[in-house]
Amino acid sequence: MHLKNIDFKKKTKNNEICIFSTSTSRKKCFTIFTIVEHSLIFDVTLSPGHQTFPEFLSVSKVDGVQVTSCDSNNKAVEPRQVWVKKLLDSEPQHLEWQIQSCLDAYQDSKEYTEDFKQYFNLTTGIVCFFQVISGCELDNETGEVSGYNRFGYDGEEFMSLDSKTLTWRYTERAVSFKQKWDRDKARLLLSNNFFKKICPQWLKIYLDYGRSFLQRKDLPSVSLLQKTPSSLVTCHATGFYPDRADLFWRKDGEELHEDVDKGEILPNHDGTFQMSVDLKISSITPEDWKKYDCMFQMSGVKDDVIINLDRSVIRTNQATLLSNTPNNLLKGECCVLVPVSSSLHPAVIGAVVGLLLLSVGISGFFIWRKNISGKELNVFFPIVKSDKQSTVSKMQLSYLCFTV
């Protein structure tokens, strides 16, 4: 390909650079990775009125790895990593700050809950899950720190705080909150202090204590999954760390951009990550199967993981789904990616999530309504879901109500 034949370069939303050629009418796309950033997130889930889940649950994460948690039942801060326990033992002021932050957030959550219940006219017998995410990101190269505070409702962002201008951004459904929240200057001052001082300070401390753990690189196990012989073939990678990675289908060594559906990077319970990408095979002849493969790439790792499209290595999850336990669901196995029909009775969905919590003794869960119409539900842990591969600055947040 000669330079004069190149029309332009375009950065796509999937972290790729695509070069379009006028001579061949084809495009060549290269996967790119964003600048390494570190993040500290405080993820709060509110579930007022539920008999199984705590009314308030807060989980803190560094670079997507759960480090501490607290809830309204025990009001104690629990370390989730060995190195975090050492940090809390050697830095008692941080433990005190974590405990106080948990108590403060719990009190704030009661106000949030009342606002939401009043606005959406939620009555007794309806259990609701709201989500609040706040945190900061550190750019390794520039040292710049950015913060965010976001509220989630009904599968979409509800309102958010601009950390630079300290002004609230309201969606159309959140306009009724504007008058009250714009007047609350004390809340803005506390948020500004959190963005500029508290969050960056403790992020750097976490990175220092957890350096060997957070800077490791783990390659995944990659497998091919299929529900039925005629359905999509899913390439599923699980157990990799960090989340600066990509997974894609290829034909004759060229990345495919048609007849594929790439999923988001999701967290596993053990601090690693998983992702999947589907391939439509209805138009692929048996003779052409050998031309296709699935490739996993990780930033900073030379060796790629490649698995060929081969009927003999495809695992079917049709039978596995019924036999998997909640523990297996949280190990990143295939069933965690299986859509749950929205026709399931809400009580069944609630019971499944309750079993997930009780079976592994963790304080985090998340029910994600994939689209506004509610046609699919995915159950996974923990709560955060990102639409960027290396950071969490853009969140998709969720809210779900069901009758109990």
Residue 249 maps to which CATH number?
Answer: 2.60.40.10
Is the same domain home to 264 and 298?
Answer: yes
Any domain includes 316? no
Task: Scan for tokens 């012989």, then name that residue.
Answer: 229
CA distance 141 to 62: 18
State pTM to two decimals. 0.64
Decide if 151 contacts 394 (C-beta within 8 A): no
Task: Give the count of domains, the chain.
Answer: 3
Residue 181 maps to which CATH number?
Answer: 3.30.500.10
Any domain includes 338? no
Is the same domain home to 93 and 222?
Answer: no
The count of other CB atoms within 10 Å of the CB of residue 7 is 10
- What's the chain's length in residues? 404
Distance of CA 175 to the CA centre of its chain: 27
Is the same domain home to 115 and 174?
Answer: yes
Q: How confident is the model at residue 232 (pLDDT cuts 50, 70, 90)?
A: very high
Is the same domain home to 155 and 187?
Answer: yes
CA distance 67 to 59: 8
Task: Scan for tokens 């879901």, then name that residue.
Answer: 385
- Domain containing residue 2: 1-32
Is the same domain home to 204 and 71?
Answer: yes
Domain edge (last residue) among 311, 342, 358: 311
Res 289: pLDDT: 95
Asked whether residue 162 carries a pLDDT value surpassing 80, the answer given is: yes
Question: How wide is the angle at C-alpha 378 spanned by C-alphas 135 and 74, nearest 5°?
Answer: 50
- Residue among 237, 220, 229, 283 at smallest CA distance from 256: 283
Q: What is the DSSP string of 338-386?
A: SPEETTS-HHHHHHHHHHHHHHHT-S--EEEESSTT--EEEEESSS--B
Domain edge (last residue) among 214, 234, 255: 214
Any domain includes 189? yes
Res 233: pLDDT: 96
Q: Which of the residue ranges 30-39, 151-160, 265-274, 348-357 would you say has the lowest mean pLDDT?
A: 348-357
Decide if 295 contacts 305 (C-beta within 8 A): yes
The count of other CB atoms within 10 Å of the CB of residue 71 is 20
Any domain includes 375? no
